[in-house]
């Protein structure tokens, strides 16, 4: 078995989850995104903004470049839903979602198998020597699972 196969499977799964989430978002109106997924829980706009911010953070974490929208952190990562006013509409967030994921896709195709297995920027060289699984591919697997979790929450808005 080629050592490239596991990496290809992981990247393909990422793209599949992005496509599935795009399909789901196409079935949810902006007005529905304003709703809580369950009483007392996060709104769809908060979840989508959270996903955009997390995916934006992947660029420097994977050493693929600078963040595009660090200003999203205060609203969508550092505070719970409704703690700060959300200034972006559902349409704004969809646009940012598409742009950040297009940038990630462009960057992902440039990475070789060896580059996927390199350390990510949140781990020191010393720690990576002891724990080589703390690599870029591991981040991708983690973020794919993270997306799946929140995709399930967003699906509740369709009901």
pLDDT digits (tens, 9 = 90+) for 140-156: 999 999 999 999 999 99
- What is the structure's pLDDT at 25? 98
Distance (Å, rounded) from C-alpha 157 to C-alpha 152?
Answer: 10
Question: Could you list the residue range(s) of the whole structural domain that residue 153 is in?
Answer: 4-158
- What is the structure's pLDDT at 2? 52
pLDDT higher than 90, residue 159: no
Tokens (6 digits) for 118:
């390199």
- What is the structure's pLDDT at 83? 96
Sequence-ordered list of residues with C-beta below 8 angstroms from that of 141, at least 6 positions apart, any chain:
10
- What is the structure's pLDDT at 5? 85
Tokens (6 digits) for 109:
């195709």
Percent of the chain with pLDDT over 70: 98
B/e letters for 56-73, b = 16+ CB within 10 Å, e = fewer, are bbbbebbebeebebeebe
Count CA atoms closer than 13 A to 98's CA, side-chain side: 9
Tokens (6 digits) for 36:
């809580």
- What is the structure's pLDDT at 3? 55
The enclosing domain of 51 has a CATH number of 1.20.120.450
No. of helices (H) and no. of strands (E), the chain: 8, 0
Torsion of CA 81, 64, 144, 54, to 10 degrees: 0
pLDDT higher than 50, residue 1: no
pLDDT digits (tens, 9 = 90+) for 9-44: 999 999 999 999 999 999 999 999 999 999 999 999
In this prediction, residues 98-118 reach a mean pLDDT of 97
pLDDT higher than 60, residue 98: yes
N-to-C CA span, the chain: 43
- What is the structure's pLDDT at 4? 81
**Bridge partner residues of 119 (DSSP):** 135
Q: What is the number of structural domains in the chain?
A: 1
Distance (Å, rounded) from C-alpha 36 to C-alpha 55?
Answer: 22
């Amino acid at each position: 078995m080629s050592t490239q196969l596991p990496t290809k499977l992981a990247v393909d799964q990422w793209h599949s989850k992005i496509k599935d989430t795009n399909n789901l978002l196409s079935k949810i109106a902006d007005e529905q995104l304003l709703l809580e997924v369950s009483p007392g829980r996060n709104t769809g706009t908060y979840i989508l903004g959270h996903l955009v911010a997390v995916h934006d953070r992947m660029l420097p974490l994977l050493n693929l470049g600078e963040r595009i929208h660090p200003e999203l952190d205060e609203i969508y990562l550092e505070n719970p839903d409704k703690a700060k006013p959300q200034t972006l509409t559902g349409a704004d967030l969809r646009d940012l979602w598409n742009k950040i994921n297009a940038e990630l896709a462009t960057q992902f195709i440039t990475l070789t198998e060896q580059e996927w297995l390199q350390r990510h920027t949140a781990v020191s060289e010393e720690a990576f020597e002891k724990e080589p699984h703390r690599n870029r591919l591991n981040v991708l697997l983690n973020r794919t699972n993270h997306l799946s979790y929140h995709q399930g929450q967003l699906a509740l808005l369709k009901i």
